[in-house]
A = this chain, B = another copy of it.
Amino acid sequence: MAQEMEKSLLNQHTEKHFTAGEIVRDVIIGVSDGLTVPFALAAGLSGANASSAIILTAGIAEVAAGAISMGLGGYLAAKSEADHYLRELKREQEEIIAVPDTEAAEVAEILSEYGIQPHEYTPVVNALRKNPQAWLDFMMKFELGLEKPNPKRALQSAFTIAIAYIVGGMVPLIPYIFIPIARKAVMASVVLTLLALLIFGYAKGHFTGNKPIRSALQTALIGAIASAAAFGMAKVVQG
């Protein structure tokens, strides 16, 4: 009866661990840098009087390089985390077999941090000792704070970030395809990118639970600062 009541109370709360959330996070990572860096690079080179042709060459080369660096980098990082999880899993498994008293003491330590007394937590510790698989899961989550990784995520993450970076990066470069005079193309690029940054920033705020308007302005501001820095550095180097 108590368990049924518990279950019905719980139906109102759901764990929000959707893969969709991870895809959104990867899109945000890709588009954030993709919209900002190629835009700033192009704007900086315009200030240094480069032609649209050079700017396009540099911009598209940067987008290709950035997409691969972030995509492959993200893939290897995810793989590395998965390997790390498996190594820690193996180690915990060995510890449970080799030094069960130490592991039991760790469970006790974890629970006692929440003011739970020995006579209250000892039944829990003993229950875990009798169930090695559950004990292992408990240590992975509550001692090490590690989630079991989804094997498909690494590849999915890599592609999502790379494609998001390419899509983001092409937005500021499109004017340079159609407008050969860089000084004119850059104005179109600024308008287009500013708009894209505001819209993307707004959406980002919405998805991450932050104030969308503030997020839109912050995102556009980063783009502005990055391009001012690129512009400034390009002037210094050309100088």
Contacts and interface: CB of A to CB of B under 8 A. Distances in A.
Interface of A: 2-3, 5-7, 9-10, 12-13, 32-33, 36-37, 40-41, 44-45, 48, 50, 53-54, 56-58, 60-70, 72-73, 76, 80, 83-84, 87, 99, 101-102, 104-106, 108-109, 111, 113-121, 123-124, 126-128, 131, 134-135, 137-138, 141-142, 145, 147, 208-210, 218, 222, 225-227, 229-234, 236-238
Contacts of A225: 68, 72
B120 A36 contact: no
A118 B238 contact: no
A9 to B, nearest CB: 4
B124 A116 contact: yes
Contacts of A124: 111, 116, 120-121, 124
Contact of A57 (B36, B50, B113, B138): B50
B37 A66 contact: yes
A78 to B, nearest CB: 12
A69 B53 contact: no
A69 B9 contact: no
Given A57-B234, A208-B84, A230-B64, A76 B36 contact: no
